[in-house]
Amino acid sequence: MPFFSIIIPLYNCQDTIAKCIESIISQSFSDFEIVVIDDGSEDLSFSVCQKYEQDERLRLYRKTNGGVSSARNLGVIKSVGEYVIFVDSDDCLCEEALKQLSEFIKRSDPDVVISGARIIERDRDYFEIPKNYSTDRYFNGYEALQKALKYRLMSGVVWGKTFKASFILENNLTFDENLVGMEDNKFMFQVYKNTNKICFNNILIYQYNTRDNSLSTNKNDEKKLIRYKNCVYVTEFIDDSKSECGPKERYWFKCYANRILVSTALNNGFKLNWTFSRFNSFVLYSATVRDMLKNTVFLCFPKICFRLKGFGNRFYGEIL
């Protein structure tokens, strides 16, 4: 059994998949498998991957197109490693990531590890690293979520994180194949809800490259609306599920849900001007989303409750 299973969902990334794979096979720590799931690519992505099949650690599968969630779910089924890392086909692992990560995991034996990531955006990079929480101690789900939200870490994505395979399987965690653009947020909510063993470290393991054709950066109004509707579904799912939790858990899961809602709105039509602890004004260009959000009440940390009040296409955060 390999120590790591690195699952790569692949769709039309012929220009980036080679760099992605090479960032993994060049790691000095070699006890891993790479599971590539080609999700019906229409370009040369599959052929590029075939060139790497001489490395016995790489296994390549091809399926009809069903979306990134179905590709990841199949990857989990096909994988046999002790820990799972999800890597998108246009991203890559950082140098010596697996060596450092394996040493940390062997000391701490967590269900989930939240590590550092380098984010490349518009030709500049910056880091999202939990610098103050490099520790072998365990946090439960809502404690980890609290710290991730407080320090503005990437709480709702699966990249930059490592999952024990048995934890995924025992809790029947899967990616929702009916969602487009919000599948990570729902999956991570279920992770936070089901674990008492999350660890943080400041190991830089992942390089995330923003892409112009992703849903989060795409300017197409129809895709933005799909993303926002899926966002509403996920936040309602979280709201329905948190009734099973205690008051502290409910509070931080509510913060998580509202962070998803606000960040999705901002990324799909808002421009936001704000200071550290006070929301000032929003400019919303999509009338459809504007109508959806009007008079919605948001709970934001640190314990700020506000309502969006609209005047034309400009919204104001009215502190309650």
- Asked whether residue 136 is assigned to any structural domain, the reply reads no
Same-domain check for residues 56 and 180: yes
Same-domain check for residues 59 and 180: yes
pTM: 0.82
The SS3 of residue 85 is strand
Query: What mean pLDDT is predicted for residues 269-281?
Result: 39
Phi-psi region of 66 (alpha: psi -120 to 50; beta: other; left: phi over 0): alpha
**pLDDT beyond 50 at 59:** yes
Write out the residue range of the structural domain in which residue 59 sits.
4-112+154-192
Task: Please state, as a whole number, how many other Cβ atoms lie within 10 Å of the Cβ of residue 88.
Answer: 24
CA 302, distance to chain mean position in Å, is: 23
- Asked whether residue 210 is assigned to any structural domain, the reply reads no
* Euclidean distance between CA atoms 17 and 46, whole angstroms: 9
- 274 Cβ contact list (under 8 Å, min separation 6): 280, 317
* Euclidean distance between CA atoms 75 and 121, whole angstroms: 28
Same-domain check for residues 59 and 99: yes
**pLDDT beyond 90 at 57:** yes
**pLDDT beyond 80 at 205:** yes
Same-domain check for residues 99 and 235: no
Same-domain check for residues 185 and 295: no
* Euclidean distance between CA atoms 209 and 91, whole angstroms: 6
On whether the CB atoms of residues 20 and 87 are closer than 8 A, the answer is yes
Same-domain check for residues 66 and 188: yes
Q: What is the mean pLDDT of the chain?
A: 80
Same-domain check for residues 181 and 106: yes
On whether the CB atoms of residues 315 and 281 are closer than 8 A, the answer is yes
Among 155, 153, 177, which residue's Cα sits nearest to residue 257?
Answer: 155
- Asked whether residue 124 is assigned to any structural domain, the reply reads no
When pLDDT is cut at 50, 70 and 90, the band that residue 108 belongs to is confident
When pLDDT is cut at 50, 70 and 90, the band that residue 13 belongs to is very high
The SS3 of residue 86 is strand
* Euclidean distance between CA atoms 62 and 302, whole angstroms: 46
What percent of the chain has pLDDT above 90? 48
Note the pLDDT tens digit of each residue in 119-160.
887 666 666 665 555 566 789 888 888 887 776 677 789 999
User: Which residue has better confidence, 211 or 140?
Assistant: 140
Whole-number pLDDT of residue 318: 46
Same-domain check for residues 48 and 171: yes
Note the pLDDT tens digit of each residue in 66-107.
999 999 999 999 999 999 999 999 999 999 999 999 999 999
- Asked whether residue 125 is assigned to any structural domain, the reply reads no
**pLDDT beyond 70 at 269:** no
Same-domain check for residues 74 and 187: yes
User: Which residue has better confidence, 108 or 39?
Assistant: 39
Query: What mean pLDDT is predicted for residues 156-172?
Result: 96
* DSSP line for 180-198: SS-HHHHHHHHHHHH-S-E
**pLDDT beyond 70 at 248:** yes
When pLDDT is cut at 50, 70 and 90, the band that residue 201 belongs to is confident
User: Into how many domains does the chain fold?
Assistant: 2
Same-domain check for residues 80 and 227: no
- Asked whether residue 315 is assigned to any structural domain, the reply reads yes
**pLDDT beyond 90 at 19:** yes
Q: What is the CATH number of the domain that holds 82?
A: 3.90.550.10
Whole-number pLDDT of residue 42: 96
Sign of the dihedral through C-alpha 226, 227, 230, 236: negative
Whole-number pLDDT of residue 299: 43
